Amino acid sequence: MAQTTSRRRPRISQFWLNVLENTNSVSALLALGAGADAPAFTAVATTYQILTTDEVILCDDTGASGFTVTLPARVTGLVHVIKKIDANASTITVASPDAATMDGDATDTLSLIAQYDIVTYGCDGTNWHRLS
């Protein structure tokens, strides 16, 4: 059964989406993330279970072997932005934590191979949808 909640998380504003798409410095992104209206930034370098409180996940595959990030349990209105920040030719895989699908599939092998590639997922309470 899909988990739902009446508490709506603030959406990542268009301003922050533009910043994420156009800023290539990890330290600059993390410094920008210190503001009160900034999304919650999480930097990961290995397999990671995304938390419902995470909003932006910066994937730094320093081992160049690729890894998986798993979306959290389904909650209506959650939005997660995943950005590959390393220059290695490895693949970041995004997986669903349960029977929910992501655009019809249980896993989504992203074409986040190039440094600074970015993808956004949103949840309707039943499934995850690739938004960009």
- Give yes or no for residue 51 having a pLDDT over 90: yes
Residue 114 located in a structural domain: yes
132 part of a folded domain: no
**Cα→Cα distances 118→3, 7, 65, 82, 92, Å:** 26, 27, 19, 6, 11
Among 21-25, 26-30, 116-120, 126-130, the minimum mean pLDDT is found in 26-30
User: Residue 59 maps to which CATH number?
Assistant: 2.60.120
In a domain, 2, yes or no: no
pTM of the predicted model as reported, rounded to 2 decimal places? 0.72
Q: Which residues pair with 80 in a beta bridge?
A: 121
- Cβ atoms of 49 and 43 within 8 Å: the answer is no
Residue 4 located in a structural domain: no
Mean pLDDT over 29-54 rounds to 78
Q: How far is CA 82 from CA 4, 7, 31, in A?
A: 22, 23, 18
- Token pair of 117 as six digits: 């590639």
Name the more confident of 104 and 68: 68
Q: Does residue 96 belong to any structural domain of this protein?
A: yes
* DSSP strand pairing (48-49 vs 67-70): parallel
Structural domain including 31 reads 14-125
Q: Is 39 exposed, middle or buried (0-12, 13-18, 19+ CB in 10 A)?
A: buried
Structural domain contains residue 6: no
Q: What is the DSSP string of 18-41?
A: HHHHH---HHHHHHHTTSTTS--E
Q: Is residue 8 part of a domain?
A: no
Domain assignment present for 1:
no
Q: What total number of domains does the chain contain?
A: 1
Phi-psi region of 68 (alpha: psi -120 to 50; beta: other; left: phi over 0): beta
